[in-house]
């Protein structure tokens, strides 16, 4: 099975940049989106063969997530179950027979870390939520988690130390998440690969120069890490300031 995750930075804009061509080429069993920037009823997307699930932010033109899946889930849940954290459409969970699939758009701590308290609350709630799911069945969690975990995960770690996405606080929470029983699939399969990024600023020709950050992830429960046969960052696909990321899992393990 192939799973794809993509922060599209506004789906309506991405549709004007060959989103549907990329969607077809990736041919995912489950395709997860973050930062759709939509409200209910603003877009009718024709995706034959896929069930569609959307979570919208209360604020217009902001945040939002979606999952498109070939197989209908047993159940669908929206949010992490904390009311004050669930107004921005940041999380969807699909339950399948042998696993949970979660897509997440983690809040940005913002310039000067002015939203770091909210971010820390989210990280704690997200970790507890995934751990509770993991106690029931294995979890595949993906999305824009808005943190570069290690220095290898961004082009310029030195000047960015302490900035949003590379603060000690955010990196520490990500380490806690992994310690709670989850595997970073790309690093598991490519421990020493450098220059592998999933987001580039629109400024300073960052993408042309590959001055990027790896902040889009697929995490899986440790006990299913060996079921992941491939983890890819699709840096050749454009349409957003992020590129898609994907994993392939053995069919007989799901």
Phi, psi of 202 (to 5 degrees): -75, -10
Cβ neighbours of residue 109 closer than 8 Å, sequence gap 6 or more: 115, 116, 119, 146, 164, 165, 167, 169, 170
Query: At 253, is the pLDDT very low, low, confident or very high (cuts 50, 70, 90)?
Result: confident
200-225, pLDDT tens digit by residue? 999 999 999 999 999 999 999 999 99
C-alpha span between 238 and 4 (Å, rounded): 15
From 29, 144, 153, 184, active-site residue: 144
pLDDT reported for residue 162? 97
105 is catalytic: yes
User: How many Cα neighbours within 13 Å face the side chain of 92?
Assistant: 28
234 in catalytic set: no
Q: How confident is the model at residue 252 (pLDDT cuts 50, 70, 90)?
A: confident
Structure tokens belonging to residue 240: 């957003």
Burial of 114 (0-12, 13-18, 19+ CB in 10 A): exposed
**pLDDT tens for residues 65-111?**
999 999 999 999 999 999 999 999 999 999 999 999 999 999 999 99
**Encoding tokens for residue 33?**
């989106």
- The CB density around residue 41, as the number of other CB atoms within 10 Å, is 7
pTM: 0.98
Q: Binding site for Mg(2+): what residues are annotated?
A: 7, 35, 144, 146, 241-242
144 given a catalytic annotation:
yes
Alpha-helix runs per DSSP H in the chain: 11-15, 19-26, 116-134, 157-160, 168-179, 185-189
Residue numbering of the annotated binding site: 7, 35, 144, 146, 241-242
Q: What is the pLDDT of residues 140-171, one digit of tens each?
A: 999 999 999 999 999 999 999 999 999 999 99
At 52, the pLDDT band (50, 70, 90 cuts) reads: very high
DSSP output for 145-201: -----SGGGBS-HHHHTTSTTS-HHHHHHHHHHHHTTEEEHHHHH-TT--S--SEE-
Instruction: Give the pLDDT score at 203.
Output: 93
- Average pLDDT (43-71) is 97
pLDDT of 137 reads: 98
Mean pLDDT, all residues of the chain: 97
Q: How many CB atoms lie within 10 A of CB 79?
A: 18
Average pLDDT over residues 186-196: 98
Measured between alpha carbons, how far is 237 from 26 in angstroms, rounded to an integer? 10
Catalytic residue (choose from 53, 56, 105, 217): 105
């Amino acid at each position: 099975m192939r799973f794809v995750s993509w922060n599209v930075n506004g789906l309506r804009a991405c549709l004007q940049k060959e989103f549907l061509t990329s969607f077809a080429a990736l041919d995912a069993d489950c395709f997860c989106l973050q930062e759709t920037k939509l409200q209910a009823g603003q877009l009718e997307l024709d995706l034959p063969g896929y069930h569609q699930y959307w979570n919208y932010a209360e604020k217009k033109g902001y945040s939002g997530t979606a999952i498109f899946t070939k197989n209908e889930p047993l159940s669908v849940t929206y949010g992490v179950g904390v009311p004050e954290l669930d107004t921005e459409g940041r999380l969807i969970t699909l339950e399948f027979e042998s696993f949970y699939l979660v897509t997440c758009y983690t809040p940005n701590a913002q310039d000067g870390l002015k939203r770091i308290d909210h971010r820390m609350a989210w990280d704690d709630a997200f970790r507890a939520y995934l751990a509770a799911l993991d106690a029931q069945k294995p979890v595949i969690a993906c999305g824009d988690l808005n943190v570069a975990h290690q220095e290898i995960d961004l082009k310029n770690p030195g000047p960015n130390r302490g900035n949003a996405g590379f603060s000690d606080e955010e990196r520490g929470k990500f380490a806690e998440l992994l310690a709670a029983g989850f595997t970073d699939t790309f690093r598991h399969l490519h421990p020493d690969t450098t220059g592998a990024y999933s987001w580039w600023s629109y400024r300073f020709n960052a993408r042309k120069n590959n001055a990027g950050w790896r902040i889009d992830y697929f995490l899986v429960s440790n006990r299913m890490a060996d079921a992941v046969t491939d983890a890819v960052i699709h840096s050749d696909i454009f349409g957003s300031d992020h590129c898609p990321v994907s994993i392939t899992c053995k069919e007989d393990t799901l």
